[in-house]
Amino acid sequence: MASRSERFARKPADERNDENKPIEAEEIVKFSPKEEASLVEESNVHKASANALFAKSEFKDAIDTYDQALATCPNYFEYEIAVLKSNIAACHLKLEDWKEAVKSASTALEGLDRLQGINLDVEEHDAKKDDVKAVEEEEADEEIVSEGATKAGPKLEVEKTVEPNSRDVDIERIRAKALMRRAKAKSEIGGWSTLQGAEEDYKALSTMPNLSAADMRVVQQQLRALPPRTKAAQEKETGEMMDKLKQLGNGILKPFGLSTSNFQMVKDEKTGGYSMNFNQGAPTGQ
């Protein structure tokens, strides 16, 4: 059964099922202030319950309860939704469900970008400087660290150098948490492109002034550890791709009594170009 937020928050521009008519963007229908307050209060009740479940390490139940909070929260409240999605990412990390953690954290980051009216990569995340009143927030606030990073030192408190009621400060704080969680998940998934993504997230984090000393140690550690892992993954995947291409080529050439071994690429040291030589005496594909 749809929640009040799901039933009324958006109204299709045209509900007719006309395949020939271009699809129009949905119109966002906002609630009255009284309705908004009621929905947010209901959402916060679910969020508080989910936070308690997270604290008790009941992560699957926490995810379900955060989903209930999302279903009740008006879907144009980007900040509140980003907080919930970031918390869900933290739950997936605890469950070692890395792909779902990436998905939830990415959704949180996209919402924060929309909230600020910007469309930047994670490496370029300059925030606007206009202060607005912050919305009260409770979230699962457990530091996400790598396996070896816990030995780096004790967790340190963040020094607040700006007004604690600034919405911009809240946005950047949630952005940092979501990036930490996504970077951690990507580094666990592995693979060439995913490890590259983890490096990009950690590079973005290394420029953020609001990280705690403990988080910054994790970031610096990962920026040292990831490049060789990324390079090894690249070489492995490139080698596997070449092996598959060789197998395909051998399959095509076999009926002619040939194999890819009959063809050798020779580099011209003067021009830097390559030429292909045919070696008839090379063994044919089996």
The reply to whether 186 falls in a domain is: yes
In a domain, 283, yes or no: no
pLDDT of res. 141: 52
Asked if residue 257 belongs to a domain, the reply is no
DSSP string, 137-160: ----------TTGGGS----PPP-
Residue-number span of the structural domain to which 191 is assigned: 77-251
Print pLDDT tens along the chain (286 aa). Answer: 455 555 444 444 444 445 455 555 545 668 899 999 999 999 999 999 999 999 999 999 999 999 999 999 999 999 999 999 999 999 999 999 999 999 999 999 999 999 887 434 433 444 333 433 333 444 555 443 444 334 333 333 333 444 544 788 999 999 999 999 999 999 999 999 999 999 999 999 999 999 999 999 999 999 999 999 999 988 887 777 766 776 776 677 677 666 667 667 677 777 777 676 767 665 554 4
> 168 lies in a domain?
yes
Task: Judge whether 2 lies within some domain.
Answer: no
Q: What is the CATH number of the domain that holds 163?
A: 1.25.40
Number of domains forming the structure of the chain:
1
Domain-located, residue 228: yes
- Phi and psi, residue 25, nearest 5°: -65, 145
Output the pLDDT for position 268: 77
pLDDT tens digit string along 10-67? Answer: 444 444 445 455 555 545 668 899 999 999 999 999 999 999 999 999 999 999 999 9
Position 273 scores a pLDDT of 76
- Provide the pLDDT for residue 208: 96
Asked if the structure places residue 24 within a domain, the reply is no
- Dihedral, 176, 179, 180, 184 alpha carbons, nearest 10: 180
User: Is residue 38 assigned to a domain?
Assistant: no
3-state secondary structure 107-120: HHHHHHHHHHCCCC
